[in-house]
Amino acid sequence: MNYEKITSFIREIYGEGYIPLHRPIFAGNEKNYLSDCIDSNFVSTAGQKVNDFEATVSNFTGIRNSVAVVNGTSALHLALRLVKVVSDDEVITQALTFVATCNAINYLGANPVFVDVDKDSMGMSPVALRNFLQEFAVQKEGFIVNKISGRRIAACVPMHTFGHPCRVDEIVAICNDYSIPVIEDAAEALGSYIGDKHTGGSGYASVFSFNGNKLVTTGGGGMLVSNNAELASQAKHLTTTAKVPHPVEYIHDEIGYNYRLPNLNAALGCAQMELIHEMIDIKRKVSYEYSEYFQSQGIEFKVEREGTKSNYWLNCLILDSRAQRDEFIQYTNSHDIMTRPIWCLMSDLPMYSSCQHDSLENSTWLVDRVANLPSSVPDGMLGGKA
């Protein structure tokens, strides 16, 4: 592998100087909308921009209800609570994910259980899920229980890795056979599709992230989305500390959370959503350039699987070995181009090392080989400015 040639190619896309993995681009009405919020005096959790941002996300995704919250982790925590995950339950997810997926499960006192991913999507494998349930799931007193642990299997959380959609419809079909609700972790998948359907509309609910490194950012922020109006209404109630509407009194009818997204953050989101189609087009153009180049060098670049459209939130290479991966990452970072490995497997982290899992064969294979590439919208390409 000619590392010098690769770094030169990346600089043809992104220019000289330090190249980050993914950075926010503010090329639209961000400053104007922030100024509007300041002028209105509504800068916190009440304000029109919050409502506007929710409506814009629903219109874009085709998912009827959106509830804006402070980050994607809180959205996932909330979604799991709303499908009645409680302490000592189990939630099936993937070990190849960002730690927030598992942390949200743990916030409720529940236990992650890990099944393998598919190599082509890097998301949960329906085959691995079905095999796990056939081997370990039994019905007991009206619940689906893990016969090894004796715990109720309360939910399933597949994740769309780096914006590449997993086989979520197959996962939902399998879970329906066992009456297990599915929550999609679509934190990285705003603007990704399976056929003509946007990610996030298959399960009971889904979550998006608007962290500073995401396609659309609100600085910090997230969204719970669902086609279930009752679930979304409950979510909005819980995010506002479960306060019962009253002209003067502070009445709260259950334990809620201070999770509502502030108006200032939502203002950024509104401006960013005005440019989302252009941002996705540019990111897909960059991914095409990467794909063409690395294919010519005999190096595997991760492309969207057939029947899906990826937002290419993070581009990545599939290298030959962990040694080659580490060598590539060391060289590029030493030359001011930020690259990184995929996450550690959750089952290798100390707090989740005792969790039940299958062989994780594909997950381990990917951990050894995946290297992420710079994936921002290049300077000057969006709205004529960066």
d(CA 96, CA 114): 9
User: Of the candidates 2, 102, 385, 76, which has an alpha carbon nearest to the alpha carbon of residue 259?
Assistant: 76
Q: Can you give the residue range of the structural domain that contains 305?
A: 3-23+275-373
The answer on 230 and 312 residing in a single domain is no
pTM of the model: 0.96
The answer on 184 and 282 residing in a single domain is no
| Chain centre to alpha carbon of residue 383 | 26
Domain boundary among 242, 273, 304: 273
Joined together, the tokens standing for residue 247 give: 């002209």
**Taking the chain (386 residues) in consecutive chunks of 10 residues, what is each chunk's mean pLDDT?**
96 97 94 95 90 98 98 98 98 98 98 98 98 97 95 98 98 98 98 98 97 96 98 97 94 96 97 97 97 97 97 98 98 98 98 98 98 95 62
Domain of 311, CATH number, reads 3.90.1150.10
The answer on 350 and 248 residing in a single domain is no
User: Of the candidates 282, 258, 317, 336, which has an alpha carbon nearest to the alpha carbon of residue 69?
Assistant: 258
Joined together, the tokens standing for residue 33 give: 């909308």
| Chain centre to alpha carbon of residue 182 | 15
How buried is residue 131: exposed, middle or buried, by Cβ count under 10 Å (0-12/13-18/19+)? middle
d(CA 65, CA 358): 35
Whole-number pLDDT of residue 381 = 87
How many domains is the chain partitioned into structurally?
2
The answer on 102 and 250 residing in a single domain is yes
The backbone torsions φ and ψ at residue 377, rounded to the nearest 5 degrees and listed phi first, read: -70, 125
Collapsing DSSP states into helix, strand and coil, what is residue 137? strand
